[in-house]
Amino acid sequence: MDWWGWATITEYPSVFDDDDEDDVDPERLKQDGFALSTKDIGDGGLRMTILEAHGLMIDLWRVQNIYDALDARSEDYANFIPMFGEHGHYGELELVEELEDLLEPGGSQVVILDRAWLAPAWRGCGGVGRLLTIRLLRWLCDDPRAVALKPFPIDLDEDQKQDEAVFRKAMTTVRRTWKSVGFQPFSDDIWVLDPRTGSYDRTVRRLSKRLGLPH
């Protein structure tokens, strides 16, 4: 099952605002990197999307052919095929032994995080993007078998990807970010998070405290 998630901020004009001053320009918000997109919701309200993410949820009890489920969607999803093995005695799709050894028992769904975008102005703000992403994943599936992703600096253009020094620095930053919320390498390309280790809760508490938010 494909999934999409996003985080938004909604702003309405204050009754104390001067109508001729401090107007919010939606296009300027996007140009300045404060929002990925904006939407007029009426009554002067503006909804600003600051984070977007999408991916795939694999139900180990329902998927009959993991190759068709992943490879048919895209080459990016096909990269996750090495996580999966054969069907077990009771019909469930199993994970390969090397991955099983990294995980605590439990859960019947694997959540794949394919892409996550955070508006540039929110980056480097004490973990806003990490907190929003981990909350989204926990809301999406309360007890997955594992969460998987492929760390990659998706914001680089083609020239930057070809520059070895730039690419290596960006990749190091991306991996450090995902490691800080509990992901660990299953392979060089695929990293996984086991929610039963308490990574979800620890990350939410730590980042919420740092940002002065309730958890």
Tokens of 44: 């002067």
Collect contacts of 74-78 with beta carbons under 8 A, ≥24 apart: 76/114, 76/150, 77/112, 77/114
pLDDT value for 212: 84
With 0.85 as the threshold, say if the pTM is over it: yes
- Residue 19, pLDDT above cutoff 60: no
Is-contact 101 47, C-beta < 8 A?
Answer: no
Three-state secondary structure readout of 166-186: HHHHHHHHHHHHHHCCCCEEC
Check residues 22 and 86 and name the one with the higher pLDDT: 86
Q: How confident is the model at residue 15 (pLDDT cuts 50, 70, 90)?
A: very low
Model confidence pLDDT, tens digit, residues 57-75: 999 999 889 988 898 888 8
Pairwise pLDDT comparison (18 vs 160), residue with the higher score: 160
Residues 99-153: tens digit of each pLDDT: 999 898 888 899 999 999 999 999 888 889 988 998 888 888 777 899 999 999 8
For the chain, give every domain's residue range. 2-50, 52-211
- Phi/psi for 210 (5° steps) reads -65, -35
- The span from the CA of 203 to the CA of 185, in Å, is 18
Tokens in use for 127?
Answer: 């973990």
Considering 3-7, 12-16, 37-41, 68-72, the range whose residues carry the highest mean pLDDT is: 3-7
